[in-house]
Amino acid sequence: MITIKSPREIELLRIAGNVVYKTHKYLEPMIKEGITTAELNRLGEEFIRKQGCTPSFKGCEGYPYAICMSVNSEVVHGFPSNYKLKNGDIITLDIGACWKGYHGDSAWTYAVGEVDDEKKFLMEHTKESLFKGLEQVKPGQRIGDIGHAVEEYALAHNLGVVKELCGHGVGTEVHEDPEVLNYGPGGTGPKIKEGMVIAVEPMLTAGNPDIYLHDNDWTVDTIDGRPSAHYEHTVVVTKDGYEILTGELKKNG
Ligand code: MG
Ligand code: MG
Protein backbone atom coordinates (compact mmCIF):
# COMPACT_ATOMS: atom_id res chain seq x y z
CA MET A 1 0.00 0.00 0.00
CA ILE A 2 1.33 3.43 -0.94
CA THR A 3 0.76 5.99 1.80
CA ILE A 4 0.53 9.76 1.53
CA LYS A 5 2.38 11.39 4.39
CA SER A 6 0.87 14.19 6.51
CA PRO A 7 2.80 17.43 7.08
CA ARG A 8 3.64 16.18 10.60
CA GLU A 9 5.04 12.93 9.21
CA ILE A 10 7.01 14.80 6.55
CA GLU A 11 8.60 16.91 9.29
CA LEU A 12 9.77 13.73 11.08
CA LEU A 13 11.03 12.27 7.79
CA ARG A 14 12.88 15.53 7.15
CA ILE A 15 14.69 15.24 10.48
CA ALA A 16 15.59 11.57 9.89
CA GLY A 17 16.78 12.39 6.38
CA ASN A 18 18.88 15.27 7.62
CA VAL A 19 20.64 12.99 10.13
CA VAL A 20 21.44 10.62 7.24
CA TYR A 21 22.88 13.55 5.29
CA LYS A 22 24.90 14.76 8.27
CA THR A 23 26.27 11.24 8.81
CA HIS A 24 27.49 11.18 5.21
CA LYS A 25 29.13 14.59 5.67
CA TYR A 26 30.70 13.47 8.97
CA LEU A 27 32.20 10.32 7.43
CA GLU A 28 33.22 11.72 4.04
CA PRO A 29 36.55 13.30 5.16
CA MET A 30 37.51 10.03 6.88
CA ILE A 31 37.19 7.98 3.69
CA LYS A 32 40.92 7.75 3.10
CA GLU A 33 43.57 5.13 2.49
CA GLY A 34 44.22 3.03 5.60
CA ILE A 35 40.89 3.30 7.44
CA THR A 36 38.94 0.06 7.79
CA THR A 37 35.30 -0.19 6.78
CA ALA A 38 34.57 -1.49 10.30
CA GLU A 39 35.95 1.75 11.75
CA LEU A 40 33.82 3.85 9.40
CA ASN A 41 30.79 1.82 10.43
CA ARG A 42 31.58 2.26 14.13
CA LEU A 43 32.02 6.02 13.79
CA GLY A 44 28.87 6.33 11.69
CA GLU A 45 26.74 4.36 14.14
CA GLU A 46 28.05 6.41 17.07
CA PHE A 47 27.23 9.63 15.17
CA ILE A 48 23.69 8.50 14.28
CA ARG A 49 22.99 7.61 17.91
CA LYS A 50 24.40 10.92 19.16
CA GLN A 51 21.77 12.67 17.04
CA GLY A 52 19.09 10.74 18.93
CA CYS A 53 18.39 8.38 16.02
CA THR A 54 18.81 4.65 15.57
CA PRO A 55 20.50 3.12 12.50
CA SER A 56 17.66 1.88 10.28
CA PHE A 57 19.52 -1.03 8.76
CA LYS A 58 20.89 -2.67 11.91
CA GLY A 59 18.61 -5.66 12.39
CA CYS A 60 16.54 -4.78 9.32
CA GLU A 61 15.57 -8.21 7.97
CA GLY A 62 18.57 -9.49 9.94
CA TYR A 63 21.25 -7.19 8.45
CA PRO A 64 23.91 -7.15 11.20
CA TYR A 65 25.53 -3.70 10.84
CA ALA A 66 24.53 -0.04 11.03
CA ILE A 67 25.85 0.98 7.61
CA CYS A 68 26.33 -0.91 4.33
CA MET A 69 29.89 -0.52 3.03
CA SER A 70 30.25 -1.78 -0.54
CA VAL A 71 33.74 -1.61 -2.05
CA ASN A 72 34.60 -1.57 -5.78
CA SER A 73 32.62 -4.38 -7.46
CA GLU A 74 30.27 -4.81 -4.51
CA VAL A 75 26.87 -3.40 -5.44
CA VAL A 76 25.02 -3.31 -2.11
CA HIS A 77 25.01 -4.72 1.44
CA GLY A 78 28.78 -4.96 1.84
CA PHE A 79 29.72 -5.93 5.41
CA PRO A 80 32.00 -3.59 7.35
CA SER A 81 35.24 -5.50 7.96
CA ASN A 82 38.93 -5.19 8.68
CA TYR A 83 39.53 -4.36 5.03
CA LYS A 84 41.69 -1.23 4.83
CA LEU A 85 40.69 1.17 2.07
CA LYS A 86 43.32 1.63 -0.63
CA ASN A 87 44.07 4.50 -2.96
CA GLY A 88 42.00 3.91 -6.11
CA ASP A 89 39.08 2.13 -4.37
CA ILE A 90 35.53 3.33 -4.54
CA ILE A 91 33.19 2.74 -1.63
CA THR A 92 29.44 3.14 -1.32
CA LEU A 93 28.06 4.05 2.08
CA ASP A 94 24.37 3.27 2.33
CA ILE A 95 23.06 4.95 5.47
CA GLY A 96 19.65 4.82 7.13
CA ALA A 97 18.52 6.62 10.28
CA CYS A 98 15.26 6.46 12.20
CA TRP A 99 13.81 9.43 14.12
CA LYS A 100 10.68 8.84 16.21
CA GLY A 101 9.70 5.91 14.02
CA TYR A 102 10.38 7.58 10.64
CA HIS A 103 13.30 6.75 8.36
CA GLY A 104 15.73 8.39 5.98
CA ASP A 105 17.78 6.41 3.44
CA SER A 106 20.63 7.62 1.26
CA ALA A 107 23.57 5.94 -0.46
CA TRP A 108 26.57 7.69 -1.96
CA THR A 109 29.71 6.41 -3.69
CA TYR A 110 33.03 7.95 -2.73
CA ALA A 111 36.48 7.78 -4.28
CA VAL A 112 39.45 6.85 -2.10
CA GLY A 113 42.29 9.09 -3.27
CA GLU A 114 42.77 9.02 -7.05
CA VAL A 115 40.59 6.58 -8.96
CA ASP A 116 40.95 5.42 -12.57
CA ASP A 117 38.94 6.80 -15.47
CA GLU A 118 36.53 3.86 -15.54
CA LYS A 119 35.53 4.49 -11.92
CA LYS A 120 35.36 8.26 -12.42
CA PHE A 121 33.07 7.85 -15.42
CA LEU A 122 30.90 5.33 -13.56
CA MET A 123 30.54 7.59 -10.52
CA GLU A 124 29.80 10.74 -12.47
CA HIS A 125 27.13 9.16 -14.64
CA THR A 126 25.53 7.05 -11.92
CA LYS A 127 25.08 10.24 -9.89
CA GLU A 128 23.65 11.99 -12.94
CA SER A 129 21.26 9.08 -13.55
CA LEU A 130 19.84 9.64 -10.05
CA PHE A 131 19.00 13.23 -10.95
CA LYS A 132 17.59 12.15 -14.33
CA GLY A 133 15.28 9.84 -12.41
CA LEU A 134 14.39 12.56 -9.90
CA GLU A 135 13.40 14.93 -12.73
CA GLN A 136 10.41 12.64 -13.25
CA VAL A 137 9.25 12.97 -9.65
CA LYS A 138 6.23 15.25 -9.81
CA PRO A 139 2.48 14.86 -9.61
CA GLY A 140 1.07 13.63 -12.90
CA GLN A 141 4.02 11.40 -13.73
CA ARG A 142 4.09 7.69 -12.97
CA ILE A 143 6.61 5.67 -10.96
CA GLY A 144 7.71 3.87 -14.14
CA ASP A 145 8.82 7.19 -15.62
CA ILE A 146 11.63 7.32 -13.03
CA GLY A 147 13.14 3.97 -13.99
CA HIS A 148 12.69 4.68 -17.65
CA ALA A 149 14.73 7.90 -17.34
CA VAL A 150 17.44 6.16 -15.29
CA GLU A 151 17.77 3.29 -17.74
CA GLU A 152 17.76 5.52 -20.81
CA TYR A 153 20.56 7.64 -19.34
CA ALA A 154 22.59 4.61 -18.18
CA LEU A 155 22.38 2.84 -21.53
CA ALA A 156 23.30 6.04 -23.39
CA HIS A 157 26.53 5.99 -21.35
CA ASN A 158 27.17 2.25 -21.81
CA LEU A 159 26.59 1.49 -18.14
CA GLY A 160 24.83 -1.60 -16.82
CA VAL A 161 21.61 -1.35 -14.80
CA VAL A 162 21.33 -3.82 -11.91
CA LYS A 163 17.71 -4.94 -12.22
CA GLU A 164 17.40 -7.21 -9.21
CA LEU A 165 17.50 -4.25 -6.80
CA CYS A 166 15.34 -1.13 -6.71
CA GLY A 167 14.19 1.97 -4.86
CA HIS A 168 11.15 2.07 -2.63
CA GLY A 169 8.73 4.08 -0.55
CA VAL A 170 9.99 5.36 2.82
CA GLY A 171 8.05 6.09 6.01
CA THR A 172 7.52 4.18 9.23
CA GLU A 173 9.26 1.32 7.42
CA VAL A 174 12.54 1.92 5.64
CA HIS A 175 11.25 -0.14 2.71
CA GLU A 176 7.63 0.53 1.78
CA ASP A 177 5.55 0.47 -1.40
CA PRO A 178 5.93 1.34 -4.18
CA GLU A 179 8.93 -0.40 -5.72
CA VAL A 180 10.87 2.15 -7.76
CA LEU A 181 12.59 0.21 -10.53
CA ASN A 182 15.64 1.54 -12.37
CA TYR A 183 14.40 0.33 -15.75
CA GLY A 184 11.29 -0.31 -17.78
CA PRO A 185 8.78 1.56 -19.90
CA GLY A 186 7.58 5.06 -19.05
CA GLY A 187 3.90 5.77 -18.42
CA THR A 188 3.53 2.68 -16.23
CA GLY A 189 3.11 2.03 -12.53
CA PRO A 190 1.34 4.04 -9.83
CA LYS A 191 0.68 7.75 -10.31
CA ILE A 192 3.04 10.02 -8.41
CA LYS A 193 1.12 12.13 -5.88
CA GLU A 194 1.98 14.99 -3.55
CA GLY A 195 2.97 13.68 -0.11
CA MET A 196 4.43 10.39 -1.33
CA VAL A 197 7.94 9.73 0.00
CA ILE A 198 10.25 7.57 -2.08
CA ALA A 199 13.91 6.60 -2.29
CA VAL A 200 15.31 6.71 -5.82
CA GLU A 201 18.53 4.71 -6.08
CA PRO A 202 20.16 3.69 -9.33
CA MET A 203 22.82 0.99 -9.00
CA LEU A 204 24.91 0.96 -12.17
CA THR A 205 27.93 -1.05 -13.29
CA ALA A 206 30.88 -0.30 -15.53
CA GLY A 207 30.62 -3.76 -17.08
CA ASN A 208 27.95 -6.43 -17.23
CA PRO A 209 25.16 -5.87 -14.67
CA ASP A 210 24.84 -9.57 -13.75
CA ILE A 211 25.28 -10.15 -10.03
CA TYR A 212 25.87 -12.89 -7.46
CA LEU A 213 25.40 -13.17 -3.72
CA HIS A 214 28.36 -13.67 -1.37
CA ASP A 215 28.40 -16.59 1.09
CA ASN A 216 27.33 -14.18 3.85
CA ASP A 217 23.87 -14.17 2.15
CA TRP A 218 23.87 -10.36 1.97
CA THR A 219 26.59 -8.82 -0.13
CA VAL A 220 25.73 -8.43 -3.80
CA ASP A 221 28.65 -8.28 -6.23
CA THR A 222 29.16 -8.08 -9.99
CA ILE A 223 30.04 -11.41 -11.60
CA ASP A 224 32.60 -9.83 -13.92
CA GLY A 225 34.30 -8.06 -11.00
CA ARG A 226 34.02 -4.63 -12.58
CA PRO A 227 33.04 -1.69 -10.39
CA SER A 228 29.56 -0.65 -9.36
CA ALA A 229 28.25 2.71 -8.08
CA HIS A 230 25.09 3.66 -6.21
CA TYR A 231 23.51 7.03 -5.45
CA GLU A 232 20.30 7.41 -3.50
CA HIS A 233 18.15 10.18 -2.09
CA THR A 234 14.90 9.98 -0.15
CA VAL A 235 12.51 12.63 -1.48
CA VAL A 236 8.99 13.87 -0.78
CA VAL A 237 6.74 14.71 -3.70
CA THR A 238 5.68 18.36 -3.58
CA LYS A 239 2.99 20.28 -5.48
CA ASP A 240 5.17 20.63 -8.55
CA GLY A 241 8.24 18.45 -8.03
CA TYR A 242 10.18 17.04 -5.11
CA GLU A 243 12.16 18.02 -2.06
CA ILE A 244 15.27 16.04 -1.13
CA LEU A 245 14.93 14.90 2.48
CA THR A 246 18.43 13.43 2.73
CA GLY A 247 20.14 16.73 1.94
CA GLU A 248 20.66 19.94 3.83
CA LEU A 249 17.65 21.19 5.76
CA LYS A 250 15.96 24.07 3.97
CA LYS A 251 15.08 27.09 6.09
CA ASN A 252 11.42 27.14 5.08
CA GLY A 253 10.97 23.41 4.64
MG1 MG B 1 19.86 2.97 0.98
MG1 MG C 1 17.02 2.43 -0.23
pLDDT in tens, the chain (253 residues): 999 999 999 999 999 999 999 999 999 999 999 999 999 999 999 999 999 999 999 999 999 999 999 999 999 999 999 999 999 999 999 999 999 999 999 999 999 999 999 999 999 999 999 999 999 999 999 999 999 999 999 999 999 999 999 999 999 999 999 999 999 999 999 999 999 999 999 999 999 999 999 999 999 999 999 999 999 999 999 999 999 999 987 644 4
What separation in Å is there between the alpha carbon of 156 and the centre of ligand 1? 25
User: Could you tell me where the beta strands, DSSP code E, fall in the chain?
Assistant: 54-55, 68-71, 74-76, 90-99, 102-111, 160-161, 167-169, 176-180, 197-200, 203-205, 211-213, 220-222, 228-230, 233-237, 242-244
What separation in Å is there between the alpha carbon of 208 and the centre of ligand 2? 22
What separation in Å is there between the alpha carbon of 78 and the centre of ligand 1? 12
What separation in Å is there between the alpha carbon of 108 and the centre of ligand 1? 9
What separation in Å is there between the alpha carbon of 242 and the centre of ligand 2? 17
Q: Which residues surround ligand 1, an ion (CB under 5 A)?
A: 94, 105, 107, 232
From the CA of 176, the nearest ligand is 2
pTM exceeds 0.95, yes or no: yes
